[in-house]
């Protein structure tokens, strides 16, 4: 089932699959994994950055610590739709996420228009601190993709997601404008992410080895900028 936890930490690893690798892996996962209760979903995000794309550039430099601020919805939202304001941090390979839920319109007014939200939790204060620290964060990109999420039948901390049709736009970033954009991946490619609280089970590492699936350094947001040829950023 979907994870709506406000705070969590985990290891995340990405893999870029071609169509043959995806089909081979998908065919043997059923005994070990079960689908998310929502099945296939469309995830929409606004990524925030400074005018000179500082956060994207830092991601490309593979620092010990980096962070991203984004606003996420499931599907194209309306003002009253639930949304997630997420501060995602990565330190020495471990991902830490802080997120709060609020109506999309309120979250948009906070992050884009500077209107203080009703939320006054500790997580909201951390997000507000980041907004103050960077000073001039703006909505830099809308990025959407279609996702299928699987959860382990035995270990609730193990999750595998498959993202396709990753698309982005730098204009009209308000998600209420739709989920269209320029495609990021080549035809037939799928971005797989394995998310775990600890080490991977033997059956999974054996599958990855059998199908010659190897870790990839890949960030949707940074790679979208790199596609334009104006930013040298392509790390996870």
**Domains identified in the chain and CATH numbers:** 7-227 (3.20.100.30)
What pTM, to 2 d.p., does this model score? 0.88
The dihedral through the CA atoms of 48, 50, 53, 54 has a sign that is negative
Task: Point out which residues pair with 191 in neighbouring strands.
Answer: 16, 163
Average pLDDT of the segment spanning 210-229 = 86
The angle formed by the CA atoms of residues 227, 219 and 148, to the nearest 5 degrees, is 110
Q: What is the pLDDT of residue 32?
A: 97
The C-alpha atoms of residue 43 and residue 70 are separated, in whole angstroms, by 12
Average pLDDT taken over every residue of the chain: 88
pLDDT, tens digit, 9 for 90 and up, residues 87-145: 988 776 778 888 999 999 999 999 999 998 988 899 999 999 999 898 889 999 999 99
Q: Are 74 and 189 in contact (CB under 8 A)?
A: no
Q: Are 97 and 119 in contact (CB under 8 A)?
A: no
- Number of Cβ within a 10 Å radius of residue 48: 22
Question: For residue 179, with 0-12 CB atoms within 10 Å meaning exposed, 13-18 middle and 19 or more buried, which class applies?
Answer: buried
Q: What is the pLDDT of residue 197?
A: 82
Q: What is the pLDDT of residue 191?
A: 97
Q: Which of 204, 194, 53, 42 is nearest to 134 (CA)?
A: 53
Residue 194: pLDDT band with limits 50, 70, 90 = very high
Average pLDDT of the segment spanning 40-57 = 92
């Amino acid at each position: 089932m979907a994870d709506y936890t406000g705070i969590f930490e985990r290891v995340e690893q990405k893999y870029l699959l071609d169509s043959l690798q995806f089909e081979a892996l998908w065919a043997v996962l059923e005994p070990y994994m079960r689908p998310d209760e929502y099945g296939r979903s469309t995830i929409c995000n606004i990524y925030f950055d400074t005018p000179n794309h500082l956060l994207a550039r830092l991601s490309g430099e593979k620092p010990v610590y980096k962070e991203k601020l984004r606003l996420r919805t499931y599907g194209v939202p309306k003002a009253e739709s639930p949304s997630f304001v997420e501060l995602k941090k990565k330190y020495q390979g471990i991902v830490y996420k802080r997120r709060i839920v609020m109506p999309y319109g309120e979250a948009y007014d906070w992050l884009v228009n500077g209107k203080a939200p009703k939320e006054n939790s500790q997580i909201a204060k951390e997000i507000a601190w980041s907004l103050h620290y960077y000073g001039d964060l703006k909505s830099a990109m809308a990025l959407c993709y279609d996702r299928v999420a699987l959860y382990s039948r035995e270990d609730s901390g193990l999750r595998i997601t498959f993202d396709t049709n990753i698309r982005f736009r730098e204009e009209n970033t308000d998600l209420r404008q739709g989920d269209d954009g320029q495609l990021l991946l080549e035809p037939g490619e799928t971005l797989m992410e394995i998310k775990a609280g600890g080490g991977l089970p033997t059956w999974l590492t054996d599958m990855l080895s059998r199908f010659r699936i190897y870790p990839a350094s890949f960030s949707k947001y940074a790679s979208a900028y790199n596609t334009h040829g104006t930013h040298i950023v392509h790390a996870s």
